[in-house]
Amino acid sequence: MPSLQNPPQKMMFQLSLRRRGISDQAVLRAMEDVPRDMFVEPADRADAYRDIALGIACGQTISQPFVVAYMTEQLGLQKSHRVLEIGTGSGYQAAVLSRLCSHVVTIERYRTLADRARSRLAQLGYDNVEVMLGDGFDVPAGAGAFDRIIVTAAMEQIPDALAQRLGPEGVLIAPVGPLHSVQTLVRLVRTETGFERKQLVDVRFVPALPGLAREL
């Protein structure tokens, strides 16, 4: 199905991101290139370019565009980077990441979402994204280390096992705080002596839960 985006909506979409402080030109290009209307539910396509979160299957959400752009910008991506995403959802964040790095591994605990995202990303040509059905709290050992890690669901704290998956000078972004309230985006940078931690902005995400979902 072709994208329904129209120029006036896309123009306001980009202007809104710039006004809210997104300045990385590569991130802005990626946000412009990825058709968000193809990642929302059909009934919500008219609202795809509004700066709001929208519901998707399994009680999950696709984050508002500003949050996607902001988290992506804070990662400081390079074309050579290998990125891990926890919480595939619709696949939109992974698609944006894929325009800015060499490879994305994204893990989703809901089979329905994983299957839909895998199919959608393939149909749209995002062939450097690998969608895995799995537990974001228990990343398979064979997945290796990553230059960047992004968590798109709320965690009460960042598991040390996840932080240890960062390579040298790696960066992790995650919403940390109460699962059913307001969280704070936290940026971890791996250094020679440990991790530097910085709090960024307040956000609200659905909870990150361990294990595979019963609702498949």
Q: Which residues have a catalytic role annotated?
A: 63
- Across 101-129, b (16+ Cβ under 10 Å) vs e yields bebbbbbbbbebbbebbbebbeebebebb
Query: What are residue 104's DSSP bridge partners?
Result: 83, 129
Can you tell me the distance from the alpha carbon of 2 to that of 158, in angstroms, rounded to the nearest whole number?
A: 39
Nearest to 157 by CA among 124, 105, 197, 117: 197
List CB contacts of 62: < 8 A, sequence separation 6 or more: 36, 39, 40, 53, 54, 56, 89, 90, 92
As a whole number of Å, the CA-based R_g of the chain is 16
**N- to C-terminal Cα distance for the chain?**
25
